[in-house]
Structure 1
Amino acid sequence: MTQNNNIFEQSLDQNAANYAALSPISFLERSAFVYPHKTATVNGNIRKNWAEVYDRCRQLASALNKRGITKGQTVSIIAPNISEHFEAHFGIPMSGAVLNSINTRLDAEAISFILQHAETKVLLVDREFSEVAEKALKMVPNKPLIIDIDDPNYVGGHLIGELTYDAFLEEGDADYTWSVPDNEWDAISLNYTSGTTGDPKGVVYHYRGAYLNAVSNVMSWNMVNHPVYLWTLPMFHCNGWCFPWTIAATSGTSVSLRQVRPELIYDLIKTEKVGYFCGAPIVLNMLNSASQELKAGINHEVKVMTAGAAPPAAVIQGMEEMGFKVTHVYGLTETYGPSVVCAWHDKWDDENEAQKAKLKSRQGVRAPMLDELMIADPSTLIPVPKDGKSIGEIFMRGNLIMKGYLKNTSTTNAAFKGGWFHSGDLAVWHEDGYIEIKDRSKDVIISGGENISSIEIEDILYRHPKIQEAAVVAKHDDKWGETPCAFITLAPDAELTEQEVINSCKDNMANFKAPKTVIFGELPKTSTGKIQKFVLREQANDADRL
């Protein structure tokens, strides 16, 4: 029998007194205990404090359990950035179920796929999305329980469910006893990518990663206690970059925003004293372009976190000149949102505004809770030189990486090949260790912060009887960051206009995914017949300069 000679492993086991699985739900319980009367959520004139939110989340969890929802089952939600969506980030995991927040911009076919792939048992639907939800549900053989979110601040839509959200809460107990997961590796949420090769992939988050990225957000942004956070970033996007849990960790205030419009944003910044918000470069550009009248009257510091398509330095400079402090981050759905941050150095304060904006436009270094980050050769995993010129793929590993893709073992294994997460994004490594994206090995178009699959658009185009060949690439756009540009070779003797192509796409997919530009002609190919997309990207972005 082998004797253990390590004195630090003798009678020093994990037990209930010295170990608990990490869970971001604990942040909610603490805020309700320490700051019960502090405002937790704001939705129009409806305000709830942390004690009230905690009770409502426990009621939601209890009601789900009473309806037979158990550990490992999926509860989906289609809703804007309102208080009920915030509560779902706590109440659903409290029940043991897995939260699936669905992109509100998707069409019925995509939503139907997600509901079936996730095996959704309960679906929460805001009235604004009742029509698309009804269409999607007609394609789902095993119907989930439908619960309507009947937000009094919204006019329109209709109720499609068995009961309303508030009525459902009444079925639950406010004193419901919840527990942390048995294992922090358990799934807490399911987020679908936009799909680069066909159907979207289901990215599974674990409790540990959700907890740590919530804390990482606080550290990356130097967040104060009781921050007032405005929801310009969709909660369906990587669970709002984990900010529902971050707000609970800091006992802050979650300010709802159904529609991302500059007049609403500026008004709420002033009236609610908003100090923090996140958004894609398109949101920043929209705020930059607003009238001076809207911008006037902000007398406190506002911090902005941006990611998506790399923000132009001019956009960052415009925000900084308004007095907003911009932090640039980078991440993917697979990394819980932000896992890389352009951490600032005091020595850069002396640079001119243009140079500071250029420095901030780089993606940066690993966030506090990301373990490792490198730029390397995708085949050998050998790091590239830190010379700002050598291009490699971005690789990450650690606690801020997903569990994997739901029901997709081969793709999960490929993503983790060699013990690193393969981002598919190409970048350079600067001498100071900061990374900067130069291209995307996956042909994903990031438009207004949302991923659009070029392959999905090409599939629609190839269905058209008058189109012989098609390829879609990203085209730079000052407003959206990137937009889809379609290159098309028509069938012999066929005729199509640009608008007819765009309309055909809009008839078969979510409108925001449709090409904004169509260019007709022969497609450049390699000797083996492969379409040269890098040539098309150059042509797409040169078109405006011709």
Structure 2
Amino acid sequence: MSVALSLKEAVHEITTTNPMFELTTAMIRGVEYRVFKNIPPHTRALLQASREAQGNGTAEYLVFGEERWTYDEFVNDVSRMAHVLQSEFGVREGVPVAIAMRNLPEFLVLVMAISSLGAVVVFLNAWWTSEELDYALQDSKAHLVFADGDRAARLQPLQETLGLTLVGVRDAEETCNLRYTDLRLAAPEHPLPDVEIDTDDDFAIMYSSGTTGHPKGVVQTHRGAMNAVFTWLMQAAMAPLMSPPEPDTPPAPRPSVLIVTPLFHVTATHPMFLLSLPAGAKLALMGKWDAETAARIVEREGITRFLGVPTQSADLLQASEKIGTSLETLDYIGSGGAKRPAAQVGQLAERFKRADIATGWGMTETNAVGIGMAGPEYVARPGSAGRLHPPVQDLRFLDEAGRDVPLGEVGEITIKSPCNMRCYLNKPEATAEVLQDGWLRTGDLGVIDADGYVTIVDRKKNIIIRGGENIACLDVEGALHRHPSIAEACAFSVPHARLGETVGAAVQLRPGAKITEADLREFLGEHIARFKIPELFWFDHAPLPRAATDKIDRRSIRTRCLETLTQGAATA
């Protein structure tokens, strides 16, 4: 039996003997980074280089309901749409093109078609209202948008004022003048256009909630995304070196991935979709989350890899028990987007004995790469986020003044990596605040032990993470302040058994004002996405408590409101 290597030994072995993971250095925007030397420089090269891993193009690659594509068929669709973008719409390097839809195969095709031309993919949150979509489209300057039915309906009121060219996908083809199917079928079957793309060119804009009222456009580069993908691929290559299999262990089956989180989030696009290409994995795509449907897809398609927010892992566990299946093909059940409750780790490990239960921490700003662990080490440390994924990242813990804190003390998680974003779109001050000499100040507070395991303890930024969705408190408050009966509002997180957190709000009403929760929720639905609308309200005519700086004392307001829950006196 082989001798198990330590993490450090495995990194050295892989990076010095496998050319795919050989390291070098590169100057990126004036800062020197460690980078992979021989990986594809951009997404088009990744698509082309992955054909061998995908059965030389013949392997079944994408499954959506009863629809199926081989890898060559998927690439052919990408090539067709790239030609459409180039010839019909004049899309070229640097042009932003937006996607607004639920999880559909066309979403994946468009991501690769847009980025293969050197254009920039603008990911629009499928749950946004017309008002929120309006902001992101003006911010990104995207005028060409591909949308499905619900999104097209929300975009049509903006079409004339923003000068949008709207292409309908699936159920939007009946209401849009331009139809995806017509464009695809009319396009020639030629290879992908060979346009020049620099590895440090922009790949995508993904919107992430911050502490300001509007979301921030995170600008990701091709180099950042590619280095993230090969960081995860290297973890898989190191695993048998650190935990050698028994001599009679049969070969592992072909990886098969079920995507259940929204494709407008980095958790689905990067460690699931983009990673599937060089990993030789098959993709099964769910348009809408349903745990029993997911369990049956796992069984039917032989799914090996599941990654969702913690509530989806819990839902899958319950569904497997309900329909009486052990989902034996699963070898990885990961969580991202929010911290999994510690008690759930053991429950999942007990139910799915052949699967490594895993956790990961990353950000849109890091192309989703960051910290993680799986298997026995996670079961032994269910409250930890794991260790930093080698080999191109560096990690520090800083105090408010930017100084390193001693080992074991709480500090702000700060990461240097070629995977870090280029900037926040149109926000130089916000960019300068978090990106300093290549180091990204994440806003998350944590502590690291002598073995390199990180525990995240709090967030500096006022973000509520509801089932993996980031919600800015000021975004919710901005919508509440629009109501004429509300003088002041304070949003905060409320613990939730299933979702981890949900939204609560303390509201000061104007003198003599009266409002029902139902009316307020209906009003908010016109301004913010449904998942952002508070589930709990505390109404009062008295002013909200303030801190010494005269700012609203969010912490004391939250504490006071949550105390009423335990006392059974919440207005909810």
1:238 aligns with 2:259: no
Aligned partners of 1:328 and 1:361 also within 8 Å: no
Superposed displacement of residue 21, structure 1: 6.4
TM norm structure 2:
0.83
Instruction: Decide whether aligned partners of structure 1 residues 50 and 513 sit closer, same or farther in structure 2, where only a CA change above 3 A counts.
Output: same
Question: How big is the shift at 1:181?
Answer: 4.3
Q: Tell me, yes or no, if structure 1 residue 204 matches structure 2 residue 219.
A: yes
Matched, 1:328 2:359: yes
- How far apart are 1:20 and its partner, in Å? 8.4
Corresponding residue to 2:129 among 86, 93, 107 = 107
| 2:298 corresponding residue in structure 1 | 269
Deviation of the 1:457 alpha carbon:
1.1
Following superposition, the deviation at residue 386 of structure 1 comes to: 2.5
Q: Identify the residue that residue 167 of structure 2 maps to in structure 1.
A: 147
Q: Pick the aligned partner of 2:407 from 386, 390, 393.
A: 386
Q: Normalising by structure 1, report the TM-score.
A: 0.87
Instruction: Work out the CA distance in 2 between the residues paired with 1:214 and 1:174.
Output: 29
| Change in CA separation of 1:198 and 1:430 when aligned onto 2, cut-off 3 Å | same
Q: CA deviation at 1:438?
A: 1.5
Decide which moves more: 227-236 or 265-274. 227-236
C-alpha separation between the residues in 2 aligned to 1:20 and 1:446? 34
Kept in 2, the 8 Å contact 1:225–1:251? The answer is: no
Deviations 1:188-236 (A, max 9, x none): 1111113430222111111111111112223345697841111112111
Structure 1 pair 116/285, CA: closer, same or farther in 2 (3 Å)?
same
Task: Tell me how far apart the structure 1 counterparts of residues 76 and 49 of structure 2 sit (CA, whole Å).
Answer: 13
Match of residue 534, structure 1, among 540, 555, 564: 555
1:28 Cα shift? 2.0
1:124-156 CA-to-partner distances (Å, cap 9, x unmatched) read 112343322323435x42222x22222xxxxx6
Note the 1:494-509 alignment, pairs <5 A: 494-509=513-528
Specify the code of the residue in structure 2 equivalent to 1:125: A
Correspondence 1:122 to 2:156:
no
| Partner residue, 1:228 | 256
CA shift for structure 1 position 239: 6.8
Which residue identity is paired with 1:216?
Answer: T
The question of whether the paired residues in 1 share the 8 Å contact of 2:413 and 2:443 is answered with yes
Cα distance change on mapping 1:299 and 1:240 into 2, 3 Å: closer
Q: What is the CA distance between 1:61 and its match in structure 2?
A: 1.0
Unaligned runs of 5+ in 2: 1-36, 240-251, 568-572
Match of 1:35 in 2: 56
Q: Which secondary structure state, in structure 2, belongs to the residue aligned with residue 360 of structure 1?
A: coil
**Structure 1 alignment gaps of length 5 or more:** 1-17, 151-155, 349-355
1:456-482 per-residue CA deviation (whole Å, 9 max, x = no partner) reads 111122222322221111111112111
- Give the CA deviation at 1:121: 3.5
Distance 1:291 1:275, change over 3 A: closer
CA contact (8 A) 1:191 1:239 kept: no
Once the 2 structures are TM-superposed, how far is the Cα of residue 429 of structure 1 from its aligned partner?
Answer: 2.3
Distance in 2 between residues matched to 1:221 and 1:536, nearest whole Å: 45
For the structure 1 residues 367 and 400, does the alpha-carbon distance in structure 2 shift closer, same or farther, using more than 3 Å as the test? same
Distance 1:406 1:83, change over 3 A: same
Q: State the 1:51 CA deviation.
A: 1.1
User: Shift in Å at residue 58 of structure 1?
Assistant: 1.1
Q: Is the 8 A contact 2:168 2:176 kept in 1?
A: yes
Q: Given residue 256 of structure 1, which amino acid in structure 2 is its aligned partner?
A: L
In the alignment of these two chains, the number of paired residues is 510
Which residue does 1:168 correspond to in 2?
Answer: 183
Give 2:481's match in structure 1, choosing from 462, 468, 477: 462
Identity %: 25
Q: Which aligned pairs between 1:439-518 and structure 2 lie closer than 5 A?
A: 439-518=458-537
The whole-number CA distance in structure 2 between the counterparts of 1:158 and 1:539 is 51
Structure 2 residue 312 is matched with structure 1 residue 283: yes
Distance 2:345 2:158 in 1: 39
Looking at structure 2, the residues matched to 407 and 418 of structure 1 have their Cα atoms a distance apart, in angstroms, of 19
TM superposition shift of 1:503: 3.5
Instruction: Please tell me whether residue 56 in structure 1 is matched to residue 84 in structure 2.
Output: no
The alpha-carbon deviation at position 307 of structure 1 amounts to 1.5
Distance between the aligned counterparts of 1:131 and 1:265, measured in 2? 28
Corresponding residue SS for 2:515: coil
Contact 1:62 1:95 survives alignment (8 Å)? no
Instruction: Quickly say closer, same or farther: Cα 1:343–1:289, change in 2 above 3 A.
Output: closer
Asked if 2 retains the 8 angstrom alpha-carbon contact of 1:483 and 1:516, the reply is yes
Which secondary structure does the structure 2 equivalent of 1:488 belong to? strand
Q: SS where residue 319 of structure 2 aligns?
A: coil
Q: What residue in structure 2 maps to residue 316 of structure 1?
A: 345
Query: Structure 1, residues 14-50: CA drift from partner, whole Å, max 9, x if none?
Result: xxxx988612332321333552110011111111111
Match of 1:396 in 2: 415
Which of 417, 428, 431 matches 2:447?
428
Q: Report the secondary structure of 2:219's partner residue.
A: strand
- Stretch of structure 1 that moved more, 411-420 or 51-60: 411-420
SS in 2 for 1:32: coil
Equivalence for 1:338: 369
1:35 counterpart SS class: helix
Using the TM superposition, name which of 296-305 and 499-508 deviates more. 499-508
- How far apart, in 2, do the equivalents of 1:82 and 1:177 lie? 22
The match for 2:18 is none
Change (3 A) 1:504 1:164: closer
Residues 177 and 530 (structure 1), Cα distance of their counterparts in 2 relative to 1, 3 Å cut? closer
Kindly state the Cα deviation for residue 369 of structure 1 after the two structures are TM-superposed.
4.7
Out of 236-245 and 84-93, give the one that drifted further.
236-245
Question: Shift in Å at residue 177 of structure 1?
Answer: 4.3
Q: Find the aligned partners of 1:106 and 1:120 in 2 and give their Cα distance.
A: 16
Please identify runs of 4+ aligned residues in structure 1 that moved more than 6 A.
Answer: 18-21
CA displacement at 1:94 relative to structure 2: 1.4
Q: 432-441 or 272-281: which moved more? A: 432-441
Q: 1:50 to 1:83 in 2, by over 3 A?
A: same
Query: Does 1:415 pair with 2:434?
Result: yes
- CA deviation after TM superposition for structure 1 residue 450, in Å: 0.8
Distance 2:280 2:194 in 1: 20
